[in-house]
Amino acid sequence: MATLRLGDTAPNFTQDSSEGPIDFYQWAGDAWVVLFSHPADFTPVCTTELGKTAALASEFRKRGVKPIAISVDPVDKHKEWIADIDDTQNTTVNFPILADADRKVADLYDLIHPNASTTATVRSVFIIDPKKVVRTTITYPASTGRNFDEILRVIDSLQLTDSHKVATPANWRDGDEVVIVPSLQDPDEIAQRFPKGYRAVRPYLRLTPQPNR
C-alpha cells in the first residue's frame, strides 16, 4: 500500500493484541487515536516510550485520546514485555499492543521501510481523529525515542483549530497566543469570534489570546 498521507482515511483492521482481538474502528469508537509502532519487543527505547505513554494516561484521557501500540511480535511475548515495562518504568501499561506477527497492520500503514530494516517496523506515529482521518504522521529513526510532549501538543493544536478559526504558531503551547487564519477578514465576525481582541503584527499575521481559555 502507498504511504498514508494527511487527510487519508486510516485503514480498518482486525488484529490480536495484548488485550485480546481488536477491530480497530470498533475499538476506537468516537475517540481520537494515537497509533504508534515499535521495531520489536524488549528493545530499550521502546520500553521507555511505552512506559511514558502509560504514565501520561490521564493526559490522553482528558483529551479523549486512545493510545494503541503495534509490534510484529506475538501476544505471549508482548505480555512478557509488558511486565518488564511496568517493572522498569514504574507504571502500568493500560493500553493495547497489537501483535502484528503477520504484518497485516504494518503493511496497511506502511511501517516496514526496507532501506531501514526488512523485518522491523519503523518508529512511526499516526494521530487519527474521530472520523478516522489521518491528521498527523511522524516517523523517527530507530535510535531516537519519541517526544510525547510534542504528540500531546499537536493533539491540543488539532482539537483547538478544529473548533476555532485559528492556527498555532511555532513552539505554541496550550494557553499561548494563536494566529487568526488569513481567510477570516470580516471585522464583525472577527469581533464576535475573538472578543478579547487581537494585535496585527502584519495584516496577514494577527495574534489573539487562545479563544477557548
SS3 68: strand
Closest CA to 31 of 69, 66, 67: 66
Contact criterion met (CB below 8 Å) for 158 and 136: yes
Task: Give the ranges where 100-146 is alpha helix by DSSP (H).
Answer: 104-108
46 by Cβ neighbours in 10 Å (0-12 / 13-18 / 19+) ranks as buried
The three three-digit cell numbers of residue 171, written as one number: 513552539
Query: Which of these is catalytic: 46, 65, 105, 127?
Result: 46
Catalytic site residue 46?
yes
Q: Which residues are marked as active site?
A: 46
